[in-house]
Amino acid sequence: MPSPLLTHRPSRLRRNDATRALLRNVRLHPEQLIAPLFIHASLSEPKAITSMPGHQQLPLTAVVEEAQSLYALGIRAVILFGIPSYKDAHGNAALEDDGIVQETIRLIKAELPDMLLISDLCFCEYTDHGHCGELCDDQQLDHDKTLPQLQAQALSHARAGVDWIAPSGMIDGMVGAIRSALDIEGYSHIPILSYAVKYSSAFYGPFRDAAEGSPQFGDRRSYQMDPANSEEWLREAALDVEQGADMLMVKPALSYLDIIQKMKEAFPEYPLCAYQVSGEFSLIKFGAQQGLVNEQEAMLETLTSIHRAGADMIISYFAKDYAEYWKKACV
């Protein structure tokens, strides 16, 4: 017989699906997910991204249909990454009012005005060297010269009708510069979702294939954060808040769940986004193809862990898969 002192058995509350569902206190709705879209100016039909199963580079002609598909599943926000028809040392294609992201914004807004459009603000997809802004003579990133470029890019997206601006390059002073430009030009209503805490990660490879934005020399360790530094996240986030960020982000997500939790505790009044990046997604996809993990269970577990850690919203390449799962589960 069991000991009479053992009066509480936690396992009693896990015996069946109904009990587990009633007691579950972490629930992720599709409306809390943001789906990334890659739009390629030189394509005439969708092109599969081999390193990211299930994802494609889209031509402008396919963008609205994909956005409508996401919206029908309950996903209300997308983040846009553009691949231009040409690249140069300064990323000038990013500044054109008829650029690939600008045109995408107009097309989707014309058909789906309630879809929230977020533009990733960076230059790595637009420069022929693949770095995130202007370069110094020694080939290091020139933060000061990049700021006016970011201001011009932000204003171009604002004119096109974007809802949120999301600067991702970890450029010193980027939030303050963008906030100032938007306010001066009459776009004070547009919030900034800052990639405040973005680490130099091994998990970005498939994204760089998709966005065609790999650095052609060197790396980005001088401006992205060191994974082994456990303190600088607070300084980076505090600077962005001071400069006018409306929301904060941690990227990647799964390797930095501790940072997500600390960020939420340090800045509870600021909405917190986490980015489940391409490598985190593709490892699960390819692992499932090899029979090493159950794809759906791994998707649910990882997204739940990110939300549980404190993320209010999640950018994920699983967004559509999760929304389809949710829709079936709710029928």
Share of the chain above pLDDT 70, in %: 98
Host H or E run for residue 195: strand 193-198
CA gap 218, 222 in Å, rounded:
10
Tokens of 206: 């498939």
Strand 193-198, strand 272-276: pairing: unpaired
Residue pointed to by tokens 């949710």: 326
pLDDT above 80 (res 8): no
**Superfamily for 28-330?**
Aldolase class I (3.20.20.70)
Give the angle 55-285-274 at the CA atoms, nearest 5°. Answer: 75
Residues with a catalytic annotation lie at: 198, 251
pLDDT above 70 (res 4): no
Please report, for the chain, how many H helices and E strands are present, in that order: 11, 10
pLDDT above 80 (res 21): no
Share of the chain above pLDDT 90, in %: 74
Say how far residue 208 (Cα) sits from the centre of its chain: 13
Beta bridge partners of 208: none
**Single-letter amino acid, residue 214:** S
CA gap 243, 249 in Å, rounded:
15
Sign of CA dihedral 126, 223, 194, 259: positive
pLDDT above 80 (res 3): no
Distances (CA, A) of 256 to 239, 263, 310, 311: 20, 11, 11, 11
- pLDDT score, position 139: 82
Host H or E run for residue 236: helix 232-243
Distances (CA, A) of 327 to 70, 257, 285: 12, 27, 21
**Is it true that the peptide bond before 252 is cis, omega within 30 degrees of 0?**
yes
Strand 77-83, strand 116-121: pairing: parallel
Q: Where are the domains of the chain?
A: 28-330
DSSP string, 31-80: GGEEEEEEEETT-SS-EE-TTSTT-EEE-HHHHHHHHHHHHHTT--EEEE
Full-model pTM = 0.94
pLDDT tens digits, 112-143: 999 999 999 988 888 888 787 788 878 888 88
pLDDT tens digits, 48-97: 999 999 999 999 999 999 999 999 999 999 999 999 999 998 889 899 99
pLDDT tens digits, 166-195: 999 889 999 999 999 999 999 999 999 999
DSSP string, 118-175: EEEE-STTTBTT--SS-B-TTSSB-HHHHHHHHHHHHHHHHHHT-SEEEE-S--TTHH
Tokens of 77: 């926000």
Rounded (10°) angle between helices 295-309 and 319-330: 100
- 6 falls in which pLDDT band (50, 70, 90)? low
